[in-house]
Chains A and B, each alone.
Chain A
Amino acid sequence: MSEGAKQRQAEELLQKALSVYGECEPPSDLEEGIIRQVRAAGSKRSPAWLPVLAAAAAILIGVVLIQDWSDVQTPETTVAQLPAPLARPAPANVAPSRQVTGMGRPPIQKRPIARKASAVKPPVLTGESEISPLPQSELAFSDIVTTPIEIEDLGKETTPLISDLAGAENREAPAAEGLIAGFEEGRE
């Protein structure tokens, strides 16, 4: 077979193959099946009232949390409201002025969130006697620590040069002589 004949035959075959390649008969109930699926998918969607319900629940939870938080933050919150210490009665030998004034609900009813160290503010104690001054030693220490040191002062503390020392001696000599003279005059 010549090359030209082969090419013609290949061309014919290709045209025929391409024409039959795309032939395809979809199922007769194709559309109905898809529509059923689409309707089922549509009906599976969440109902319209669900977002409203979710929003209401979120608001309710928010209100409860805020209320709880404000209970923790309120200034009337005292040590007496914290569960563990309040479970015991106040010792008999404590003066009335040192006793904490508790008001509010029994501690056993407090929610666990109130126990968080970060959430609970330091208790506010009532009564003057509870405010005690810091010990002297602490005051002194804090003063030392917090006293700023001037850079100029640091410069003065450096070791003086020999020439400076010599100069100081020369400058101090007349002053010493004056002092001695003054002292002798005073004695007289």
Chain B
Amino acid sequence: MSDDASDRVESLVREHARFVYRLVYSLLRNHHDTEDVVQETFLRVCRNRSKLNRIEDPRAWIACIAWRSALTRRRKLSAHPVVDLDDLKNSLETIATGPEEEAGKEQMRSLLERLIRTLPEELRNPLILSTVEDIRSPEISAILGIPEATVRTRLFRARQLLREKLTALIGGGSRVGRS
């Protein structure tokens, strides 16, 4: 590998590795798999470094590679488990009554993760990407290959569906509630 190409790839790693990590983690929710996919992503960038001069937005290009790699990894891992309604109610109760803030956050993440799994994929992917720090609709649009307006519409519908599910859970759980 020539020095120029090597330097270019290394500067891309330093610039975007953390963003790519958060992006992949938002989908896989597992640090070990996320590290593997991030490494795989930058190895692909290295193999295709000859294209770098023609890429207008390297961050979006790398994000696209990372997202596809993460989707492939998730398919290999397993199918989504069935979400149990009772489990969700228990999680909600723990969040409402959790004594420690960090434990509450973890429970909240777990609850949302399971709720998101119930969404259709076309709504799920934009929503997952929207939770990643520093990412905006144009980038989500570039990663998913859909128009920006469609991204906004799907985000709105996804949040609406989640709100309805949560409302139903709060109403259904007799012990859940905050005064």
Residues on A facing B (Cβ under 8 Å) = 1, 3, 6-7, 9-11, 13-14, 16-18, 20-24, 26-27, 30-31, 33-35, 37-39, 41-43, 45
Whether A6 contacts B18 in the complex (CB less than 8 A), given A34-B42, A39-B6, comes out as: no
Tell me what chain B mostly uses at the interface: helix, strand, loop, or mixed. Answer: helix
Bound-state Cα–Cα, A23 to B130, Å:
12
Kindly identify which residue among B13, B133, B166 contacts A38, using a CB–CB cutoff of 8 Å.
B13
Leading 6 A-B pairs by shortest Cβ distance: A22-B131, A42-B1, A10-B166, A17-B112, A26-B21, A10-B167
Whether A14 contacts B166 in the complex (CB less than 8 A), given A21-B113, A30-B38, A37-B42, comes out as: yes
Q: Are B167 and A7 in contact (CB under 8 A)?
A: yes
Closest-by-CB residue of A relative to B40 is: A37
Tell yes or no: B10 within 8 A of A by CB. yes
Whether A37 contacts B43 in the complex (CB less than 8 A), given A9-B177, A17-B111, comes out as: yes
Tell yes or no: B123 within 8 A of A by CB. no
Bound-state Cα–Cα, A54 to B35, Å:
38
Closest-by-CB residue of B relative to A36 is: B39
Kindly identify which residue among A11, A23, A31, A42 contacts B13, using a CB–CB cutoff of 8 Å.
A31
Kindly identify which residue among A9, A21, A45 contacts B109, using a CB–CB cutoff of 8 Å.
A21
Tell yes or no: B159 within 8 A of A by CB. yes
Chain A residues, Cβ within 8 Å of B162: 14
Q: Are A21 and B131 in contact (CB under 8 A)?
A: yes
Tell yes or no: B95 within 8 A of A by CB. yes
CB distance from A36 to the nearest CB of B (A): 10
Bound-state Cα–Cα, A7 to B130, Å:
22
Q: Are A33 and B159 in contact (CB under 8 A)?
A: no
Tell yes or no: B25 within 8 A of A by CB. yes
Chain A residues, Cβ within 8 Å of B171: 1, 3, 6
Of residues 1 to 56 in B, which have CB atoms within 8 Å of A's CB atoms?
1, 6, 9-10, 13-14, 17-18, 21-22, 25-26, 31, 35, 38-39, 42-43, 46-47
How would residues 155 to 179 of chain B score, 1 for a CB under 8 Å from any chain A CB and 0 otherwise? 0000100111011011100000110
Chain A residues, Cβ within 8 Å of B60: none
Q: Are B170 and A42 in contact (CB under 8 A)?
A: no
Chain A residues, Cβ within 8 Å of B111: 17
Closest-by-CB residue of B relative to A19 is: B131
Whether A11 contacts B163 in the complex (CB less than 8 A), given A6-B171, A16-B108, A17-B108, comes out as: yes
Q: Are B177 and A45 in contact (CB under 8 A)?
A: no
Kindly identify which residue among A23, A34, A41, A43 contacts B38, using a CB–CB cutoff of 8 Å.
A34
Chain A residues, Cβ within 8 Å of B21: 24, 26, 30
